[in-house]
Amino acid sequence: MGTSKKVVSYTSEELRARSAAGLTLSDWEWVRTHEPDLTDPDAPDFADEFRAERLRRRGRPLGSGVKEATSLRIDKDVLAAFRATGRGWQTRMNAVLRAFIEATPRYRGKLKAMAKSRRRVAD
């Protein structure tokens, strides 16, 4: 069995007192000699990178606003066939449905009308 280190907790007042007495385990002299010189004009400016990192959105990217989440019942074998095609299977399924609508005269007019009304709402 390995040796275990004893974990010690201090209050902020105790830490200040230990620091004033020189009982810290931090090597402040090493920190002072190894910290970067921020006044050096040749030092790289990372401000833009830090700002960009802070402003970067986390999580899932926003969608286009054109698609809508829905619940749809599909035969197991059809769903398995699309899923077997790998990543992007939902996009491919959407393309197949769109191709069907565009190829079927009965539905084609409805698709165009919906696209026009969607453009009016967006403007």
Residue 90: which of 52, 1, 98 has the closest Cα? Answer: 98
CA dihedral angle for residue 64, residue 70, residue 75, residue 76, rounded to 10 degrees: 80
Task: Determine the average pLDDT of the residues in 65-85.
Answer: 91
Question: Average model confidence (pLDDT) for the chain?
Answer: 79
Burial 36-70 (b: 16+ CB within 10 A, else e): eeeeeeeeeeeeeeeeeeeeeeeeeeeeeeeeeee
Tell me which of 12 and 45 has the higher pLDDT.
Answer: 12
Task: Determine the average pLDDT of the residues in 84-96.
Answer: 93
What's the pLDDT score for residue 121? 55
**Ranges of each domain in the chain:** 76-122
Task: Determine the average pLDDT of the residues in 75-83.
Answer: 96
Q: Which residues contact 83 (CB under 8 A, 6 or more apart)?
A: 89
pTM over 0.85: no
What's the pLDDT score for residue 55? 74
pLDDT digits (tens, 9 = 90+) for 15-62: 888 888 877 777 777 777 777 666 777 766 777 777 777 777 677 777
Tell me which of 70 and 42 has the higher pLDDT.
Answer: 70
